[in-house]
Structure 1
Amino acid sequence: MGDFDPLAQIGRGQFGIVRKVFHRPTKVTMAMKEIRLQLDELQLNQILMELNVLHEAHSPYIVDFYGAFFIESCVYYCMEYMECGSLDHMFSVDCSEAVLSKIAYSMVMGLKFLKDKFEIIHRDVKPTNVLVNAEGEVKLCDFGVSGKLNASLAKTRVGCENYMAPERIKMGAGDEGYTVQSDIWSLGISLVETATGKYPYPLDNRPTSTVFVIMQDIINGPAPNLDPEQYSEDCRDFIARCLEKEPHDRPSYADLLEHPFLTKYKDEDVDMKGWAKQALANKKDT
């Protein structure tokens, strides 16, 4: 710990705080997550899952992991510092369709990597678990609730209900489970929120503001999409395919990577760095 200079607290996770630190021996600025190990077995298993994924995941679409160490009852692990923070911090910057396509591509590539490399499903895909650096690179993080797929199925209901696919919300004790298609639903909701800057299931003026109301909307209401006057048919079709109510109607990651919304901008020089720079400027102004 003596090798680090603390610079600022940058977040608070499920089990502890995250700080921006400077590691003097390597002269690298890092994000350090501190977790106190006064936890039950389930929470400990979630931490071990995240450490395992970070340690083994070498991908440009997953945050880099530098190492972990223990001091008394705390575990500290050090990761790549992503200057812009999570995707929800980018809502103050206009998100063009080209930028949205690049974000979608990075998220799909990250999720596909987890599936192909580890046979796991993320299970908590949402803007707060997608990080952006000053270069405009987009990477997934927070794998504490990731689940091992058994014959392509996961069975436990963990994660944030607001981004859960309908089949996960409805899942009963006797149901066979769910697939990576549930992460594709969460991807679609996250992209709509990123494009509009607001969560797509508003509570309006209804008397209750409970998660239950949102869950009912997800199951029974129409799937959200983007304004046809602002977004192309390709973009809206990509979102619509992600947000099919029936999981077997949603595309695979390989199918999504071949979708015109992603292929159209794949080789285009989109100014992701300028987008990130504007977000950083807005962050400093506040």
Structure 2
Amino acid sequence: MSALIGHKLGPYHILEMIGRGGMAAIYKAYQPSTDRLVAVKVLLDSRTDDPQVVRRFEHEAHVIAGLEHRNIVPVYDFGREGELLYLAMRYMRAGTVSDLLRRGPLTPADAACILNDVAAALDYAHQRDVIHRDIKPNNILVDAQGHSHLTDFGLAKVLNDSLDLTRSGASIGTPAYMAPEQVADEPISARTDIYALGVMLYEMITGVLPFSAESPMATAIMHLQHTLRPAREINPMIPIEVDAVIRRAMEKRPEKRFPTAGAMAQALAQAAGGASHPTAITGEGVHRSELATLVPFSMEGRTLYLTELAREVAETKGPEEVTPEVRRALQRQQQEGRRKRLLAFAPWAAVGLLVVTLTATLAAFVRGSADSRASAAATATAIQALILQLSDAQTAMAGNVPGAQGTLAHLQTQIASVSSPQAGVSVTPITSAVNMRTSIATAQAGPTQTSIATVSTARTSTSQTATIPPAPTSQPPEPATLPPVVNTLITDPPGIIPTLGGLLP
């Protein structure tokens, strides 16, 4: 689950892992929409591929989000991201009761203070038919002022109504606080939470669990079958009245327990009224794990009151406010995220650029081919016009048609320009082919045959009118007036010139 650090889960930027239990991992995260820090609890082994598990999670999350009590950690949001189910809760600069117990057992008075806050939260939830199912020190936060807050309502039910105690790696903590009816898979009630509260009280004032075995299954069976070892056997300085509260809370049969958590808290407060701090004990007859936990307060030279201890533990946690350090961490994460996205996108961008380049090259090639075909067609048309005019000019020269010599000279100029590779073809029709042929026919037939030549020319082209040249005069003939030049580009003139050589005089 450490892979989530530095990434987003839903709308939350995961900053660091701050806790992990048998059912969930807890992260400190940043919520941009509200500019605040939150605690995101991600369920482990949530089996999101099971629709029943997802529906159960959504139902329980709705119920938990509706709990509003000063001693209950508020739930802001819940959701699903891929295969992960998560809850977003208030982030508190606080330690857990487990953190406090690492410094040693608590006095009955301090334990009564914690239990009073937790009992108030449980009575509020029980009145709304919400059973916690997983009361334990890890699920109770203690802020710097020594106030306790209950968290993780209903998560045990979300994952499984009865935990798989035979599974390798199953949480040892949860079976250690389970009531006999939970182990036997019998109906549970509010008094199931009261049993777990009695187990936690036992641990807070002795520093050890009432039942512990090699495996989760063996521990759970001890709750079901074994007799409770009195707390006074571990610490004789515990008042008899406090021990009696523990024994009643941990009765095997639910109906013999306290009716409410508040009733248990009131009984403990009365029993712990004149209780002293836990005292040092000898190691005779005590398990070595117990010796490791029972640190005599007198040896430390001071008394650890709840407020002092809670403040010490809270100061080891990160602040609740969004500090400049947090913002710098967010900036680094965002920069790293952009870098990773760029690296992931780069190969695809290169492939895309290559595809675009190849497409553009192919389009240019196709467009160039089309232009070449159009140019070749225009060149062929121009050559046909030149050949036709050359033929007509030669015929006119043979028939002594006035102006034919000028026409032929102009055509030769055009052919000379074609001979240059850098030049295009400039085709200047001296007269239309029809008019040239009309002049030739007139010169050969004489005046009496003019009408016949005209009729013949009309059959050649109905769109042109025959033009009879003027009668010869003594003055030298003038070149015919040239119509506007029609320019047609020839892309490869040298390849055409050889075909015109035989047509020139």
Q: Distance in 2 between matches of 1:3 and 1:167?
A: 40
- CA RMSD across the alignment: 3.2
Q: 1:189 to 1:49 in 2, by over 3 A?
A: farther
Q: Distance in 2 between matches of 1:99 and 1:168?
A: 29
1:113 matched to 2:124? The reply is yes
Q: Distance in 1 between matches of 2:142 and 2:74?
A: 12
- 2:264 matched to which residue of 1? 256
**Residues 19 and 25, structure 2, Cα contact 8 Å, conserved in 1:** yes
Shift of 1:277: 1.7
1:275 matched to 2:271? The reply is no
**Residues 131 and 138, structure 1, Cα contact 8 Å, conserved in 2:** yes
- SS state at 2:220 partner: helix
1:53 matched to 2:63? The reply is yes
The one-letter amino acid paired with 1:238 is V
Q: 1:191 to 1:39 in 2, by over 3 A?
A: farther
The one-letter amino acid paired with 2:309 is W
1:21 matched to 2:26? The reply is no
**Residues 183 and 221, structure 2, Cα contact 8 Å, conserved in 1:** no
The one-letter amino acid paired with 1:221 is H
Q: Distance in 1 between matches of 2:317 and 2:203?
A: 19
1:128 matched to 2:162? The reply is no
Q: Which runs of 5+ in 2 are unaligned?
A: 1-7, 165-173, 274-303, 319-505
Shift of 1:170: 3.1
- 1:206 matched to which residue of 2? none
1:220 matched to 2:225? The reply is yes
Q: Distance in 2 between matches of 1:158 and 1:272?
A: 33
**Residues 179 and 192, structure 2, Cα contact 8 Å, conserved in 1:** yes
Q: 1:244 to 1:45 in 2, by over 3 A?
A: same
1:211 matched to 2:216? The reply is yes
Shift of 1:281: 5.8
Q: Distance in 1 between matches of 2:184 and 2:84?
A: 37
Shift of 1:115: 0.8
Q: Distance in 2 between matches of 1:145 and 1:164?
A: 11
**Residues 37 and 75, structure 1, Cα contact 8 Å, conserved in 2:** no
1:90 matched to 2:97? The reply is no
Shift of 1:59: 0.5
Q: 1:199 to 1:258 in 2, by over 3 A?
A: closer
1:241 matched to 2:248? The reply is yes
Q: 1:273 to 1:26 in 2, by over 3 A?
A: farther
1:164 matched to 2:178? The reply is yes
Question: Match for 1:189 among 195, 199, 202?
Answer: 199
1:7 matched to 2:27? The reply is no
Q: Distance in 2 between matches of 1:279 and 1:252?
A: 33
- 1:101 matched to which residue of 2? 112
- SS state at 2:231 partner: coil
Q: 1:225 to 1:61 in 2, by over 3 A?
A: farther
- SS state at 1:38 partner: coil
Q: Distance in 2 between matches of 1:37 and 1:212?
A: 22
Q: 1:161 to 1:69 in 2, by over 3 A?
A: closer
The one-letter amino acid paired with 1:277 is R
Shift of 1:46: 4.1
- 1:180 matched to which residue of 2? 190
Q: Which runs of 5+ in 1 are unaligned?
A: 148-155, 204-208
**Residues 72 and 150, structure 2, Cα contact 8 Å, conserved in 1:** yes
Q: Report the structure number with the largest CA radius of gyration.
A: 2
Q: Distance in 1 between matches of 2:253 and 2:83?
A: 45
Q: 1:3 to 1:170 in 2, by over 3 A?
A: closer
Shift of 1:250: 0.6
TM-score of the two chains, using structure 2 as the length reference = 0.46
**Residues 141 and 149, structure 2, Cα contact 8 Å, conserved in 1:** yes
Q: Distance in 1 between matches of 2:132 and 2:250?
A: 17
Q: Percent identity?
A: 23
- SS state at 1:235 partner: helix
Q: Distance in 2 between matches of 1:45 and 1:14?
A: 21
The one-letter amino acid paired with 1:212 is M
Shift of 1:163: 1.6
Q: Distance in 2 between matches of 1:190 and 1:41?
A: 34
Q: 1:9 to 1:31 in 2, by over 3 A?
A: same
TM-score of the two chains, using structure 1 as the length reference = 0.76
**Residues 137 and 272, structure 1, Cα contact 8 Å, conserved in 2:** no
- SS state at 1:124 partner: coil
Q: Distance in 2 between matches of 1:31 and 1:167?
A: 32
Shift of 1:109: 1.5
Q: Distance in 2 between matches of 1:130 and 1:24?
A: 27
The one-letter amino acid paired with 1:17 is A
**Residues 84 and 280, structure 1, Cα contact 8 Å, conserved in 2:** yes
Instruction: Considering fraction of residues, name the structure with more strand.
Output: 1
Shift of 1:42: 4.1
Q: Distance in 2 between matches of 1:248 and 1:92?
A: 34
Q: 1:213 to 1:6 in 2, by over 3 A?
A: closer
1:145 matched to 2:156? The reply is yes
Q: Distance in 1 between matches of 2:24 and 2:18?
A: 12
Q: 1:233 to 1:166 in 2, by over 3 A?
A: same
1:62 matched to 2:69? The reply is no
Q: Distance in 2 between matches of 1:69 and 1:189?
A: 33
Q: 1:7 to 1:197 in 2, by over 3 A?
A: farther
Question: Match for 1:32 among 40, 45, 68?
Answer: 40
Instruction: Considering fraction of residues, name the structure with more helix.
Output: 2
